[in-house]
Amino acid sequence: MASTPDGMKRFYGTLGVVALIGIGALGYLLTRPRTVSVPANVTVQASDTAGFRGYIKGSDSAAVEITEYADYQCPFCQTFATLQMPTIEERLIKTGRLRWRYRDFPLQQHPWARVAAHSAACADEQGKYWPQHEKA
């Protein structure tokens, strides 16, 4: 049997080292502790939202302002948003007669409502609250 040239030995040696490093990195990624970025049991204090006015749609000079407290998983809130809100927006908000203020009110029995509210708040930081609100 002929011996392998030195270049092939070096190639297989390098390939073996890269494979060991890859297996080690994969093992680390699979065994590291998983962290949650959104706290599960948060207690919101009044001082946490001091100065926060909610998410506003409509003219600042509107004669009437309505504040809606809603939950993203609430079926009644979804029905209202789907059936009534388009008419309210067309006839009252766009004409400048009404200003609409939305405040999140995630209920404990809806486990994903807080995450959806957090998602919408992140979208607000990018100036895209209302498009995200309609998706959530």
Edge-to-edge order in the sheet of strand 98-104: 55-57, 98-104, 64-70
pTM exceeds 0.75 for this model: no
Beta-carbon count within 10 A of 51 CB: 5
* C-alpha span between 32 and 114 (Å, rounded): 27
What is d(CA 14, CA 18) in angstroms, rounded to the nearest whole number? 6
pLDDT in tens, 2-18: 556 778 888 899 999 99
pLDDT digits (tens, 9 = 90+) for 15-33: 999 999 999 999 988 888 7
Domains of the chain: 54-135 (3.40.30.10)
pLDDT, tens digit (0-9, with 9 covering 90-100), for 66-98: 999 999 999 999 999 999 999 999 999 999 999
The predicted-structure confidence for 33-64, as pLDDT tens digits, reads as follows 777 666 666 666 666 666 778 899 999 999 99
pLDDT score recorded for residue 42: 66
Q: Which residue has the tokens 């049991």?
A: 41
